[in-house]
């Protein structure tokens, strides 16, 4: 199940870069939970062709992540945001501006990236 979740994350990030057939096969496999036989029937291909298309798509997605690292970046951002959220929730009254600045510091690099891209 974890493999399928990882595959779905990669598909969300890089799916548009796959071939049409790979995209269709992987979508049916992940989102619709079709068996290889059902995928083959739906797309007019053999079960083996559906299997090969899915395997190629998986390899392509993994290679894209190795080169581009978007999932790793997203995970890091989620980790930072979760930490900021936890720290903000733990603040007691009254809230000191210095505490808020300390908590917000990990977000600085994201704000600076936005300024550069604008």
Q: Map out the domains of the chain as residue ranges.
A: 2-68, 72-117
Q: How far is 14 from 60, CA to CA, in rounded Å?
A: 9
Torsion angle of the four alpha carbons 62, 66, 67, 72, in this order, in degrees rounded to the nearest 10: 110
54 and 25 Cβ atoms separated by less than 8 Å: yes
pTM equals 0.75
**Which token pair is 53?**
């298309």
* pLDDT tens column, 11-70: 999 999 999 999 999 999 999 999 999 999 999 999 999 999 999 999 999 999 999 999
- Specify the CATH number for 2-68; select among 3.40.50.2020, 1.10.10.10, 1.20.950.20, 3.30.2320.50: 1.10.10.10
What is the number of other CB atoms lying within 10 angstroms of the CB of residue 45?
A: 18
Looking at the chain, the whole-number percentage of residues with pLDDT higher than 70 is: 96
108 pLDDT band, cuts 50/70/90, is confident
Cβ atoms within 10 Å of 14's Cβ, excluding its own = 19
């Amino acid at each position: 199940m974890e493999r399928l979740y990882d595959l779905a994350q990669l598909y969300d990030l890089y799916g548009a870069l796959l071939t049409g057939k790979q995209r269709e096969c992987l979508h049916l496999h992940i989102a619709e939970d079709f068996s290889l036989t059902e995928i083959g029937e739906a797309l007019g291909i053999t079960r083996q062709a559906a299997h090969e298309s899915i395997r190629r798509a998986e390899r392509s997605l993994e290679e894209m992540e190795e080169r581009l690292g978007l999932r790793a970046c997203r995970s890091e951002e989620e980790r930072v945001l979760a930490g900021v959220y936890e720290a903000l929730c733990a603040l007691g009254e009254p809230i000191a501006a210095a505490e808020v600045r300390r908590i917000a510091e990990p977000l600085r690099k994201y704000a600076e990236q936005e300024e550069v891209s604008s």
